[in-house]
Structure 1
Amino acid sequence: MKTFTLVVGAVYGLISVILGAFGAHALKKIISADKLVSFETGVRYQMYAAFFLLIVGYILKFETTAEKWISILMIAGTFIFSVSIYLMAFSDVVAIPSKIIGPITPLGGLLMIVSWVLLIFHFAKSKF
């Protein structure tokens, strides 16, 4: 789980840099300013999650179920949150039903929040 967390963190970081550059240079001509702001939010939170996963992957030993869930929830939550935002950003360009995708975004955010809460509890009960 440790290696998986570190690899996903690195992949999330790589993808967020690529998408950030793509958004800054190519998307201005394709999507509206409002959609671009949303797209950038997805990229930003994906990068936050990349840092989170790299740090957590380095710090945690993944010996307990709670430690594993910290990683799983952040990985899944980030994927759901950011990918749904990316899809909604392109909803005007490609026929993507934003009414279906829109309600999914908060679910991803909730999973990310729960991951942070579990991390707080883990640190609070740890003896350093």
Structure 2
Amino acid sequence: MHKTFLIWAAILGALAVILGAFGAHKLQELVSEKDVHTFQTGVTYQFYHVFALLAVGILYASYPTSSMIWAGRCFLIGILLFSGSLYVMTLMKTTGDVGLRKLGIITPIGGLFFIAGWICLLLSFLKK
């Protein structure tokens, strides 16, 4: 299972660089500075949790617990929900379509998955 987390970390890390470059260069032509900041928040948290996912993949060899697997899953889900919702909300504003304003409720759910991932990581260390 740890190899899967390492693969996802590599893919999501590359994607974070691509999205960060897009946000820094092209996005500012399309949306307000506030919206660019929202997008960059998604990129920043994606990067943080890519490193957490990398750590899970590496640490699984020493701490092969179900909590470690759940930590990785929570980090993946958190990236999808937290960062993904910020990307979608920002990109919707580029088209002027902001009809899905309720999409913002997904962002804090993603944050809860990030927190759960860190707690699962802690539990892995305490179990061994």
Return the TM-score normalized by structure 2: 0.91
Give the whole-Å Cα distance in 2 for the aligned partners of 1:97 and 1:4.
36
Equivalent positions of 1:1-80 (< 5 A) are 1-61=1-61, 63-80=64-81
Q: 1:118 maps to what in 2?
A: 120
Shift of 1:113: 0.5
Give the whole-Å Cα distance in 2 for the aligned partners of 1:112 and 1:43.
14
Q: What runs of 5+ residues in structure 2 fail to find an aligned partner?
A: none
Q: 1:87 maps to what in 2?
A: 88
Q: Are residues 113 and 105 of structure 1, via their aligned partners in 2, closer, same or farther at CA, if it must alter by over 3 Å?
A: same
Shift of 1:96: 4.4
Shift of 1:105: 0.7
Aligned residues: 126
Identity of aligned residues (%): 37
Give the whole-Å Cα distance in 1 for the aligned partners of 2:127 and 2:48.
24
Runs of at least 4 residues off by over 6 Å: none
Return the TM-score normalized by structure 1: 0.91
Q: What runs of 5+ residues in structure 1 fail to find an aligned partner?
A: none
